[in-house]
Amino acid sequence: MTTPVVLALHYQNDQLHPEGRIRVGLAEDDPARARLIAAAGRLLAGARARGWPIIHVRMAFRPDYADLARNTPIFRKTAEIGAVRDGHWGSEFFSELAPLDSPREFAFKHNRISAFYGTELEALLRLLDAKQLVIAGIATHSVVESTVRDAADRGYEVTVAADACAAAGTAHDNALASMRLIAEVGDVDSAFAALAPKGHA
Per-residue pLDDT tens for 128-164?
999 999 999 999 999 999 999 999 999 999 999 999 9
Q: Apex CA 200: angle with CA 199 and CA 201, to 5°?
A: 130
CA gap 145, 179 in Å, rounded: 7
Q: Among 24-28, 186-190, 192-196, which is the least confidently predicted range? A: 24-28
**ω into residue 115 within 30 of 0, thus cis?**
no
pLDDT at 1: 59
pLDDT average, residue stretch 14-21: 91
**Helix, strand, coil % (nearest 5) of the chain?**
40, 20, 40
Which strands sit side by side in the sheet containing 157-161, from one edge to the other?
Answer: 105-110, 54-59, 5-9, 132-137, 157-161, 184-186
Over residues 171-175, the mean pLDDT reads 94
* pLDDT averaged over every residue in the chain: 93
CATH 3.40.50.850 fits 5-195, yes or no: yes
Residues 87-100: what's their mean pLDDT? 97
Q: What is the pTM of this model?
A: 0.95
CA angle 13, 91, 149 (to 5 degrees): 95
- CA dihedral sign, ordered 189, 166, 139, 49: negative
